[in-house]
Structures are given as structure tokens and as C-alpha cells.
Structure 1
């Protein structure tokens, strides 16, 4: 498909070999679009823990694969059946690409569709992602970015944002309820604090890093507990805040081996612990399940309707995304080093096209 103004070749940052650094390569621009696909001129793309998992061969990714599953951009070309977007639209790219449309998940509620078992793949994980001058998005999973939300704010929302937003919904916490976040001072946690507070939910932020605790405070948390004081003290403090019962629910966004049990321990009896972090194995003491009847519910990303609702809430409530920006794809290796340093606050984001990010490009 010939696309006016789109170059035949582009730069892409790719996983070429597992357990090796990314490589920047010149590759063909993907202009041969499927019916529901859109070609986006990439504005911003961010680095996520899942990107590290891809590098470490946690998934059966076919290499080479362009990295980053948190992307944004402007539509420059549309497939024949795209009806919900037009050229020039500002778009947050959906992770799932090429759902089958016929399985029970695709035929079920909107918030099941991201679980399609026959999907082509998720961008940056199984198919090419957004660390490139251009990338392909699926119109059935992507969202419109509100005018007052920047591309750099929207990129991390494509995974981190929708993941924690759906986890809050899965917890069933409502206005006035107590919700604990374990690992609250990271990229997902600081967004979860703000989303929960915007809904009137009372937040308990649990964190183990000084940088993370500082970010919890900046995000509006009034009750911040330090994991380093020990689990018994944490449980005691949570009960003191919640009238002796424990949190209505907890969301675990920490991959530490003790985090899942800790999240259960601060949850009330018969409550729900939502597991979002993805360690290889999730370990929970049997007492939490048998003697306290804590339910564990997993949660992934969200469907298109919930994702658009999240973006609208970001616009309405002025949700702040703590950002660590670099400019240009050549700076991605520095971004990865920062993300792995343990000192980063918030999300690591590459501004691929500075002109688009600053809003000066013609749409």
C-alpha cells in the first residue's frame, strides 16, 4: 500500500537476541495494513517491566521484535474497515493486535476481549511495538487521547494505566472503602493512588523504597507505610487505620517474593487481593486463604471501553504521570539503564517525535 509522505524505511529499536541489549536498526516501514489496522507516526513510547521480561525470554517472542508496548501517535493511514478513527487523530495504541473476533472472550463483555486466546499478539511482546518512527495499532483496542492529555502522559497509560485502573475495578472498592496498594510508589502504584482517590476511595500506600515513598506522597497518599518496618507492624498499622478489620481489598503491584502474602495479610477477612505484578511464581501462605478466606483475583489490561474511560478520567481529574523523559530513539539504552537502576520515580518514556509531543506538527 502506497502511503503519501511515509518513508519506505524507518528506525526501530529491537530485541534481536535474548538477554542482549536492544539494537537500533533500519527496517521497512509497515505500510501493508490489515483491515482493522492503523499506521501511526509514533509520538512517544515508554519502557515497562514487561519489556524486560521480553528481553529475558519470558515469552516465546519471535525475533527480531521491535520493543515497547506502551505507544502513542498520530494516524497517517487506515485499514479498509477502520471506522472509529480518522487520519490525524491522536491515539493511544492498544496492546492486543489481531483478535480473532469469534472466541468466547471476543464475543463476551468488552472487558474480556483483551483475553482472546487466538490473538495475533500483543505489540512489543509478540509483534512489533512502538520503539520506532512508525508503528501499527489495532483500531479495536486503541483509544482517542483527550485534547488536554499529552502524548507523553498517554503512553504509559497504554499498559500501566489501564492495568491499575482495571485492578481497582476488580477490587470492587467503592467510595469510602479502604484500598491498600503494595508497591505503591512505582509506575503503576502512583497512578493507582490517584485513580482511587478520584473515586473517593481511602488509600493505604505500602512501599519499601525512599524514592517510592516520596512519589506516594506526591501522588496524594496520606497514609504511607514502610515495608522495612516488618509485616507485623504493617498489619497492626493497617488495622489501626481501618477500625480493626484490615483493608477492604489490596492490590499487589510488587514482584517481590513476599509481596503477595503481605497484600493478603493487610486485607480484611473474606476480602480480595488483586494480583497485578508478574513474578514467575506467586507465593501466599496457606493461612491467608484457608483461615482468613482472602480471595485472590488476577487482573490484566483492560478492554477498549474501560481504557477510554480511564483516559477520560485522566483528563477530568488531572491525573499526574510521573515521567522520566529522553528524546530520540537513540536514547532508549539510557532509558533502560534508568529503569533498571532502582532509583527511578514513575515511568520511563522516550519522546520519539518531539514536534508531535510539543503539538507543533500539522495533523
Structure 2
């Protein structure tokens, strides 16, 4: 397809390839990809963030549909538009700075998900013809090439313009971690002044969630069980109560919250909603125990073996459990505007593209925050 492009566009690019599961990435040079459909756009990647899903994928645990190898990962990144197809259906132009999530590349446009559009139950859904839930769509960095490369083709309908006040590095971490936790908090369906808990509050999603929830006017309780994440959470969680689950049991915390709220009955003490981020059964149980009767649990994590759920909690306490998966393009744009307006930023460390394997080593130390490839850094 003929294109309109930046005059300085090179013929080749560097990319980090996963050639086999459970092996280091390999950096090599390959031709820059060419555009296909009128919805496609070529961007120069400015920053690419590492996500827990990247670790799951690299370990060969992305089931039931692992990616074909070799593979270029990363599904949360940001960049600059450098080429458009002739007859482009996008309103973006060359030089625009954009954030890119993983979902959803070239959806079918006709399935029930794509056709639905916004509804009273889901007012944040994208207009008919595009859906992040389309089963026929590909996903950047998971089922197709992603952001651990100097250039990548994206779907113009995925993109969110970067507002003033956010850098490419700031934006990259928001395009999965930020959108996911923001959407989960919206699914809590709370009013300002109600209580929300974030289990795993010192991780990449969690520490962003502390900031989002506080700025939403919620009373926030963060829970973690490791020294470095707890220290990180306490450093950024102005106004939030941070709990070390190793030393405080959930029942005592719920009673303490109830006393603060002037409650007299144990069943009415605790959180109105909780977001579960870790894949641990203990973390899930702790979060459920923090809920008051009629509370809501929002699941973001999806451990391979699932969670054991107590029917007694659901039947006798009227606890509801819902899932939350990233968010629509409308939500992605809302996240960036909210983050810019309220100065929500990740605690992060940056690495050049050539040091992606060093980044992975740091990730597995579990010290919290986010790790990002910054393409402006020298090798």
C-alpha cells in the first residue's frame, strides 16, 4: 500500500526478539514493516513498558494461545506517528504523539462485540465497528509484534493522543497498567467518600491505583506483603492507609475501619469494594475478608489454576465478584487526561532497548513500580 511518510524514515529497525520461551531476548536488525489496511499507522516507538503479561508470555504460560516465535513483545507503549497509508481513515497526522495499548488490532467490525457500541450497562464502550473484546482481533505484543522495537504498525482506532504534561515514558505505563487499574476502579461503582481496597498496592498497577483512587475522592486502603512494594506505596500514597498483610490480619483491619466509620456491627465494617491484583489465593482471601456485607470484589488477576471462592461469602454476605480487563479506547483517552490533570505518574526506572534483558532481571526482583524501555537512552 502506498504511504505518506516522514522523509527520514529508514529501511531497517532494531527489535528485541523472543526466539524461544524461557530464554533471553535477542536484539537484531530487521526491515521496517509495511502498512496494510487504511486503519493502520506506522509509529516510531519512544517508550515501551514491561508488564507482568510479558513475563507470563516469555515463560510460555500464555494459554491457550501462546504467540508464534520469534516474537516481539510489549503491549503498552508510546510513540510518534511517522507514516500513514494513502486513503487513511484516521484523523491523526504525521508527527502526532500517541499512546498505544495492546488491544485491539484490526477487529472484525461485525461480531456482536464490535456491533454493540455504548449501552446503559457499558457507557464507556467504543462506537459500533470497534471493540477491545473482539475475538477476531489481534493484540500488539501478544498475538502480533509489539513495542520492544524501534518501529511498529498499530491500528489508528487504538491510539490515544498524549496530552500536555505527560512524556512518552509516563504515557507508556498508562496504556495497560494505568488503563487496567483505572477501569477496575470504575467497575467498583463507588461514590466519593466510600472505601476501596487495592490488594498488591506496591506493584505496577497497584501504586497507580492508589493515586487514581485518591484523586477520585475515595477512601483508600492499600495492602501488600513485601518490604520494597510497601515502602514504595507509603512513599506515594498521600491520604491512603497502607497495610502489611504479614503483620495485620484482615479482620482486625476491617474492625479498625468500622470503628473509624462509627459502625457498630461487624458485618457493616470494612471496605465497600476491593480490587485484587496478585495471583495469590492468600491475597484473594485477604481482600474478601476486608469487605463489608454487600461489598464488591473486582478481579484483575487470572492465575492459571484460578481462585477458590467461598459460596458462603456470596450467599450469606452477598459479596459480588466481577472481572475487569483493560478498557475501551474511550477509557484510555480518559486515563491520560485524568493522569495529566491530577499528576498521576508511575514510580519507574528506565533502560535502553539494548538492555531489555537487564530490565527483566530487575522485574523478577519484585521491588514494585514500573520498568520502561526509553528509546532516547544511549546503549
TM band (smaller chain): over 0.9
Partner of 1:228: 246
Taking the aligned partners of 1:85 and 1:207, their CA distance within structure 2 comes to 41
- Structure 1 position 37 matched with structure 2 position 49: no
Greater Cα offset, 24-33 or 173-182: 24-33
In structure 2, distance between residues paired with 1:154 and 1:249:
27
Distance in 2 (CA, whole Å) between partners of 1:231 and 1:170 is 23
Contact 1:167 1:274 in 2 (8 A): yes
Q: 1:175 is paired with a residue of what secondary structure?
A: coil
**Match of residue 246 from structure 1:** 270
Q: Find the counterpart in structure 2 of residue 56 from structure 1.
A: 59
Q: 2:94 aligns with which of 87, 90, 97?
A: 87
Whole-Å Cα distance in 2 between the matches of residues 102 and 65 of structure 1?
A: 28
Please give the alpha-carbon distance, in whole angstroms, between the structure 2 residues aligned to 1:211 and 1:241. Answer: 28
Query: Which residue is 2:9 aligned to?
Result: 6
Consecutive unaligned residues in structure 1, runs of 5 or more: 356-363
Residue of 95, 98, 106 corresponding to 1:98? 106
Stretch of structure 1 that moved more, 261-270 or 298-307: 261-270
Q: Which residue of 2 is the match for residue 305 of structure 1?
A: 330
Per-residue deviation, 1:241: 4.3
Deviation digits for residues 136-189 of structure 1 (CA, Å, limit 9, x no counterpart):
221112100112101110001010000000001101012010001111111101
Match of residue 283 from structure 1: 308
Structure 1 stretch displaced more, 135-144 or 31-40: 31-40
8 Å contact 1:9–1:26 — kept in the other structure? yes
Question: CA separation in 2, counterparts of 1:84 and 1:346?
Answer: 34
Report matched runs for 1:92-171 at 5 Å.
92-96=99-103, 97-108=105-116, 109=118, 110-111=124-125, 113-119=131-137, 121-171=138-188
Q: Is the 8 A contact 1:42 1:73 kept in 2?
A: yes
Further displaced range: 283-292 or 233-242: 233-242
Number of residue pairs matched by the alignment: 352
Residue range with higher mean Cα deviation, 262-271 or 237-246: 237-246
Distance 1:324 1:130, change over 3 A: same
1:320 maps onto 2:367 in alignment? no
Q: Is the 8 A contact 2:258 2:270 kept in 1?
A: yes
Deviation string, structure 1 residues 104-141 (Cα, Å, up to 9, x no partner): 1112225372111111x111111000000111221112
* Alpha-carbon distance in structure 1 between the residues aligned to 2:30 and 2:243: 48
Please report how far the alpha carbon of residue 37 of structure 1 lies from its aligned counterpart in structure 2 after TM superposition. 1.1
CA shift for structure 1 position 291? 2.2
TM-score, normalised on structure 2? 0.88
Q: In 2, Cα distance between the equivalents of 1:157 and 1:351?
A: 15
| Distance (Å, rounded) in 1 between the aligned partners of 2:239 and 2:300 | 20
Query: Aligned partners of 1:240, 1:276: CA distance in 2, in Å?
Result: 29
Does the 8 Å CA contact 1:162/1:310 hold for their aligned counterparts? yes
Structure 1 outlier segments of 4+, above 4 Å = none
Is residue 351 of structure 1 aligned with residue 374 of structure 2?
A: yes
Distance 1:55 1:234 in 2: 37
Gaps of 5+ in 2: 119-123
In 2: Cα distance, 1:312 partner to 1:239 partner: 34
TM-score (norm. length: structure 1):
0.92
Report the counterpart of residue 358 of structure 1 in structure 2.
none
Find the aligned partners of 2:73 and 2:376 in 1 and give their Cα distance.
Answer: 16
- Contact kept, 8 Å, 1:43 with 1:354, in 2: the verdict is no
CA RMSD of aligned residues (A): 1.7
Q: Secondary structure at the match of 1:217?
A: helix
Contact 1:204 1:224 in 2 (8 A): yes
Cα deviation, 1:206-249, whole Å, max 9, x if unaligned, reads 11112222222222243111110234434444444453422110
In structure 1, which of residues 55, 74, 88 is the aligned counterpart of residue 80 of structure 2? 74
SS of equivalent to 1:65: coil
CA distance, structure 2, for counterparts of residue 240 and residue 99 of structure 1: 50
